[in-house]
Amino acid sequence: MRFNDLRQLEDSLLIETDICIVGSGPAGLSIAREFAGTNIQVWIIESGGLEEDPDTQALYNIESVGAPRVMQQEVIRSRIFGGSSHIWTGRCAPFDRLDFQARPWIPHSGWPISREQIDPYLERAGVNLGLGPHCYDEQLWELFKVSRPTPLLDEQVLKSAFWQFSKSSKERGQPTRFGRHFMSSHAPNVNVLLHANVTHLNTNESGTRLESVEVSTLENRRGSIKAKAIILCCGGIENARLLLASNRILPNGVGNQNDTVGRFLMDHPGCVIGSFDPQRSTKVRSRFGQYWLDNSQGRHVYLQGVTLSPEIQAREGLLNCAAFLEEYAAQDDPWIALKRIRKSLKKQSKTSFPTIDQAMFWRRETPTETALAPSLYQDAMAVLGHPHIASQGIYRRLAKHRPPLPKAERIDLYCLVEQLPDPESRITLSDTKDALGMPLSKIDWKISDREMQTVRRLSQVLCQELERIGLSPPTLADWLDAKEDWQSNFTDRAHPIGTTRIAENPKEGVVNSDCQVHGVEGLFVAGSSVFPTTGHANPTLMVVAMSIRLADWLKINYFNQQGGVL
Ligand SMILES: Cc1cc2nc3c(=O)[nH]c(=O)nc-3n(C[C@H](O)[C@H](O)[C@H](O)COP(=O)(O)OP(=O)(O)OC[C@H]3O[C@@H](n4cnc5c(N)ncnc54)[C@H](O)[C@@H]3O)c2cc1C
């Protein structure tokens, strides 16, 4: 793979290639990986470079006019080689079967493909993400080598939900960071163009074929790329923005003949629905929380939570919704202190990939100075001062094959809820422009009453079920009773979904089931913007699976080659 920097190439550069991938996040690099080592020439066009850069990052600014976007918008997407996988947590789960179905109680629901059709790609995606077995149900107990916890949950109401964590094969303790992973791949046919911002998609006069993309650096060095197939992989907001802003020939933008681009914007609104008393929650933390699965690739970490059963969703007209424990370790937790001691003794080399405290990140808290750097002495005292926690942890590791329970200072019950697909929840173009002269995304995000009803119902049934199975229920958050102003308790979770949704009917969506933009030959979209519904699961496993599926389709239909599993 060759890296090129547009800032150092001649002005008015013209590149001709087979495939042009715009964006190098999990979607773009998963597609590129499928073509690595073939005779198909690929150029990846990336706005960022190999290091973070505030001026490039500022191109991600937005104008928000809808439900509060409470996270700092210029921080929750990374404009860098590797995209937001630069800072992601790595939590993975596939969408449920129900998420793909047309549900009469959810307007605009239903995918033109089923979970069964996507399963082979989910397996391949799992390998790329360093995941364990493609299993997310009660069969896992056997693989964990523990017996299924009893009393069982009433499956007519609540089901177990499982997530697992991506594991880098190159960096210990990190999820797959796509940029760094891809750098060392054998891919002589793949070129990367860094610091190249795609600013316009050029179609023929009738807008029916994509001819080329225009690129510019922040210093105004320009170029264009022509390709047989051009794939937008810029993330759930930018894919729509780029289509809308490409309006020189078509005033409504490319692929927007039916006014569908940018509509149906969704996320997974996240919220704290309750909290457990850290002193009296050992049983609930033991029943849920993390499990280990060891196989030939090493140890895989799974998290167990709960989800509303398909039956209750159908019966009560609810959305999909999941809840899990979010634990905040005390600063003097002996296990974390031990990790820090080990790290400082090893004097680990600094990586350019940041590790952020995810829980604090989503709670928008800045760690205090002491939280950042307890002294070696304080850590040693934390280890020696808690023999009970340490011995309990050793017992859990050896006898239960589970990670130790840290000394917690706070235990939240966190919830991620599906959104109702709403055409009025949308991205349009702002009057404010970025440094390249492109209009910012104007985001009118909507959260409906149905999301709130769903979260309330999940909290009720979860408390009832915990009591029934003999566990202390959480203290529920007061805001769950609020009649108004409840929206500010939801956090946008950096999972923008739906703005170039798949639909067989061009009036209902932007891309067809092959992810080709309706009515625009040669133009494809990959990433969560193509999902017509959100489920409750974090999106990246599905993003990677759908990207591999698109790569297979292109191999067969554009380049006459074999796909991977078809
Ligand atoms: C803090 C954080 C934690 C997360 N944790 C999880 C998690 O645990 N599990 C999970 O599933 N997901 C998680 N996510 C979401 C996950 O990061 C995204 O789903 C994933 O990165 C999307 O991949 P993508 O390739 O579609 O887009 P991105 O990763 O956003 O990549 C888009 C790329 O396109 C480039 N680009 C954008 N515009 C242009 C342009 N005009 N020209 C050229 N290049 C352009 C960008 O620079 C970027 O490299 C998290 C996100 C954040 C921010």
Where do the structural domains in the chain lie, given as residue ranges? 1-96+111-131+176-266+423-446+495-566, 133-165+270-330+407-418+448-489
Say yes or no to pLDDT of 46 above 50: yes
- pLDDT score, position 372: 59
Minimal CA–CA distance to 559: which of 263, 305, 229?
A: 229
Say yes or no to pLDDT of 149 above 50: yes
CA 84 – ligand 1 centroid, Å? 3
Which protein residue's CA is at the shortest distance from atom 13 of ligand 1?
88
Chain position carrying tokens 């970490």 = 301
Q: What percent of the chain has pLDDT over 70?
A: 95
Contact call for residues 44 and 198 (beta carbons, < 8 A): no
Specify the CATH superfamily of domain 1-96+111-131+176-266+423-446+495-566. Answer: FAD/NAD(P)-binding domain (3.50.50.60)
Higher pLDDT, 376 or 347: 376
What's the rounded Cα separation, in Å, for the pair 525 and 523?
Answer: 7
Say yes or no to pLDDT of 465 above 90: yes
- Confirm whether pTM is higher than 0.85: yes
Report the pocket of ligand 1 as residue ranges, CB < 6 Å. 22-28, 45-48, 76-77, 79, 83-85, 87-92, 197-198, 233-235, 238, 242, 361, 494-495, 527-528, 538-540, 543
- Per the DSSP assignment, residues forming a β-bridge with 290 are 303
Q: Is 480 exposed, middle or buried (0-12, 13-18, 19+ CB in 10 A)?
A: middle
What's the rounded Cα separation, in Å, for the pair 318 and 311?
Answer: 10
- pLDDT score, position 492: 92
Higher pLDDT, 200 or 185: 200
Helix/strand/coil (H, E, C) string of 326-339? Answer: EEEECCCCHHHHHH
Reported as a single tens digit per residue, the pLDDT across 506-563 is 999 999 999 999 999 999 999 999 999 999 999 999 999 999 999 999 999 999 877 7
- pLDDT score, position 358: 61
Say yes or no to pLDDT of 349 above 70: no
What's the rounded Cα separation, in Å, for the pair 37 and 233?
Answer: 21
Parallel, antiparallel or unpaired: strands 439-444 and 298-308 = unpaired
Question: Which tokens hold the place of 232?
Answer: 């937008």
Residues 326-342, mean pLDDT to the nearest whole number: 85
**Weakest-pLDDT range from 179-183, 461-465, 472-476, 539-543:** 179-183
What's the rounded Cα separation, in Å, for the pair 221 and 54?
Answer: 19
Looking at every residue in the chain, the average pLDDT score rounds to 93
Contact call for residues 231 and 22 (beta carbons, < 8 A): yes
What's the rounded Cα separation, in Å, for the pair 418 and 534?
Answer: 6
CA 231 – ligand 1 centroid, Å? 15
Q: Which of 15, 88, 436 to mutate to test the pocket of ligand 1 (most atoms within 8 A of CB)?
A: 88
Say yes or no to pLDDT of 86 above 80: yes
CA 545 – ligand 1 centroid, Å? 15
- pLDDT score, position 17: 98
- Per the DSSP assignment, residues forming a β-bridge with 22 are 45, 232
- Per the DSSP assignment, residues forming a β-bridge with 159 are 307
Nearest atom, ligand 1, residue 234 CA: 34
Nearby residues of 505 by Cβ (< 8 Å), 6 or more positions away:
none
Residues 178-207, mean pLDDT to the nearest whole number: 94
- pLDDT score, position 206: 92
- pLDDT score, position 365: 63
Residues 2-16, mean pLDDT to the nearest whole number: 95
pLDDT classification of 352: cutoffs 50, 70, 90 = very low
- pLDDT score, position 184: 82
- Per the DSSP assignment, residues forming a β-bridge with 497 are 266
CA 492 – ligand 1 centroid, Å? 14
- pLDDT score, position 342: 81
Question: Which tokens hold the place of 559?
Answer: 């380049």
pLDDT classification of 158: cutoffs 50, 70, 90 = very high
Q: Which of 167, 182, 540 to mutate to test the pocket of ligand 1 (most atoms within 8 A of CB)?
A: 540
